[in-house]
Amino acid sequence: MERLWAPWRAQYVASFTRADQMSECFLCAAAKSAREHDRELLVVARWESCFALLNRYPYNSGHVMVAPYRHVGEMEELADAELCELMVRVREVLRALKSELSPHGFNVGLNLGRAAGAGLPEHLHIHIVPRWHGDTNFMPVLAEVKVVSQALEEVYERLHAALHGGS
């Protein structure tokens, strides 16, 4: 039997234990942090009522989450202005991802509630996952290993610049 090593998965699995022990959700921590910590926390943009950050454990290169600053778990809890800005900013992130990474398509969505797959059901967030033809292959299907083709730091630099007016 051939072994495929993916040591980053150990950090990912351990993150679930840490999340259960955290006194504050990671989205709230990122939202409240000072801007000088944005790179470390992978926050690529901040706006009036929401912000965007790279997923530290991405499904694909450029996997971004857009979340309201407020800690709410249900769409109905958002004010109309928050909901509107959330969607406008998702559109802005899509444009930046198209410009910087040239994906062939996207998966965009929310997992509302633990039964729907939400890892953090108390703080809703919209996932934006760039997709390319052929990015699903035997690795995740047979080996439970996902190959992510770009470093988080590189994607951060490109998206941060695109979302702040320069590429």
Contact yes or no for 124/87 (Cβ under 8 A): no
Q: What pLDDT is attached to residue 46?
A: 98
Per-residue confidence band for 137, with pLDDT thresholds at 50, 70 and 90: low
Residue 114's CATH number? 3.30.428.10
Q: Is pLDDT above 70 for 18?
A: no
Confirm whether 128 is domain-assigned.
Answer: yes
Per-residue confidence band for 117, with pLDDT thresholds at 50, 70 and 90: confident
Which of 63, 123, 125, 127 does the annotation list as catalytic?
125
User: Can 127 be counted among the known catalytic residues?
Assistant: no
Confirm whether 12 is domain-assigned.
Answer: no
Cα 52-55-58 angle, rounded to 5 deg: 140
Q: Is pLDDT above 50 for 65?
A: yes
Q: Is pLDDT above 90 for 145?
A: no
165 vs 85, more confident: 85
DSSP secondary structure letters along 120-159: STTS--EEEEEE-TT---HIIIII------S-HHHHHHHH
Phi-psi region of 134 (alpha: psi -120 to 50; beta: other; left: phi over 0): left
15-35 burial, b at 16+ Cβ within 10 Å, e below that, comes to eeeeeeeeeeebbbebbeeee
Question: For all residues of the chain together, what is the average pLDDT?
Answer: 86
* Number of domains within the chain: 1
Give the pLDDT confidence of 37-47 residue by residue, as tens digits.
999 999 999 99
Domain that holds residue 112: 24-163
